[in-house]
């Protein structure tokens, strides 16, 4: 059993509006799975179904090999995008309350809280009220209560919003460490740079439909379109550019270093680079030759835009 969570053709309707249309996903164990999509795509609905806040109209969810049921709630940790804490309740009391609701005993919760409070250097906040803390400080507490009960599956919806860069980094490291320790993580966001950094797998949801999913590196390979960046060292301006333009599809070009170097991007008909390199050899020195791999951002925008007219 290598998947912590499998969704089979999950469909959810709100009145006439279809929020999720036959979404199927496989979320491997011990990985960080990016759930991507524009606002209103249906990410939150899917996450709420996994958390059993709402239920699918059709389709099933398998958690750790068994159909999802109420007892799994204590094995899932959820940091919602719309999050907050009781403002007039004390930090320690509140964390204990939320931990107990997840099924922990009071003493167990207390010990773990102590560990986490020391870890994130917030030891002396126990008796302070949330309304006395800054937003970033409250977010730290929020993170702790999400992970405290050591769930098998963690779901973070835009986890870095509300953090300054230093604390965002701290939380990112904690997320990576949790993954190292065996937790599976679903990571919902539209901030693509953190997707590149963290996710091994992604799924892209747009207008209630899943557009693509799989290993991020596989998807990137699939989205490669044989575009290469080339730098040539020239001895003299020998008309090589015109020659290349005749034979290949040159997307852009520029001379640098007083005409000593020609940089250009070329789209080759296939991923067979041999013919192209053979053509160049003897005519110029190849200073660099790299394949451009599309960023997650490019893939996101491209896929969503291609789907737009439907």
> Which residues make up the interface to other proteins (CB under 8 A)?
14-15, 48, 51-53, 73-74, 76, 78, 80, 82-89, 97-98, 100-102, 142, 145
Give the shortest CB-234-to-other proteins separation in angstroms: 60
CB 133 within 8 A of CB 87: no
Which strands, in side-by-side order, build the sheet including 249-256?
Answer: 249-256, 261-267, 227-233, 285-291
CB 158 within 8 A of CB 81: yes
Closest CA to 152 of 244, 50, 29: 29
Give the shortest CB-83-to-other proteins separation in angstroms: 5
Handedness of CA 68, 69, 71, 73 (dihedral sign): positive
Nearer to other proteins, 39 or 258 (CB): 39
Q: How far apart are CA 306 and CA 280, in angstroms?
A: 35
CB 120 within 8 A of CB 170: yes
Nearer to other proteins, 152 or 296 (CB): 152
Nearer to other proteins, 17 or 235 (CB): 17
CB 38 within 8 A of CB 206: yes
Give the shortest CB-138-to-other proteins separation in angstroms: 10
Nearer to other proteins, 130 or 234 (CB): 130
The per-residue DSSP string of 260-280 comes to: TEEEEEEE-SSS--HHHHHHH
Nearer to other proteins, 101 or 277 (CB): 101
Give the shortest CB-53-to-other proteins separation in angstroms: 5
Give the shortest CB-272-to-other proteins separation in angstroms: 51
């Amino acid at each position: 059993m290598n998947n912590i969570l499998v969704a089979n053709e999950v469909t959810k309707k709100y009145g006439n509006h279809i929020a999720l249309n036959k979404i199927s996903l496989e979320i491997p164990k011990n990985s960080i799975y990016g759930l991507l999509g524009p606002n209103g795509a249906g990410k939150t609905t899917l996450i709420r179904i996994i958390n059993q806040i709402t239920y699918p109209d059709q389709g099933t969810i398998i958690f750790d090999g068994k159909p999802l049921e109420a007892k799994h709630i204590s094995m899932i940790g959820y940091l919602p995008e719309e999050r907050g804490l009781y403002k007039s309740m004390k930090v320690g009391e509140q964390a204990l309350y939320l931990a107990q609701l997840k099924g922990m005993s009071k003493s167990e919760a207390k010990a773990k809280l102590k560990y986490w409070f020391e870890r994130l250097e917030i030891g002396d906040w126990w008796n302070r009220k949330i309304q006395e803390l800054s937003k970033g400080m409250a977010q730290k507490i929020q993170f702790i209560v999400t992970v405290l009960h050591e769930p098998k599956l963690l779901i973070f919806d835009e986890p870095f919003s509300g953090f300054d860069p230093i604390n965002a980094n701290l939380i990112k490291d904690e997320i990576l460490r949790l993954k190292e320790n065996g937790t599976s993580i679903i990571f919902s966001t539209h901030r693509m740079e953190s997707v590149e950094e963290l996710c091994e797998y992604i799924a892209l949801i747009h207008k209630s439909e899943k557009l693509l999913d799989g290993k991020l590196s596989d998807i990137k390979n699939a989205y490669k379109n044989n575009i290469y960046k080339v730098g040539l060292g020239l001895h003299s301006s020998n008309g090589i550019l015109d020659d290349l333009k005749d034979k290949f599809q040159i997307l852009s070009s520029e001379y640098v270093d007083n005409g000593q170097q020609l940089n250009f991007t070329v789209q080759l008909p296939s991923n067979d680079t041999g013919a192209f390199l053979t053509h160049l050899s003897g005519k110029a020195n190849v200073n660099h030759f790299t394949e451009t791999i599309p960023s997650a951002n490019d893939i996101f925008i491209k896929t969503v835009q291609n789907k737009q007219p439907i």
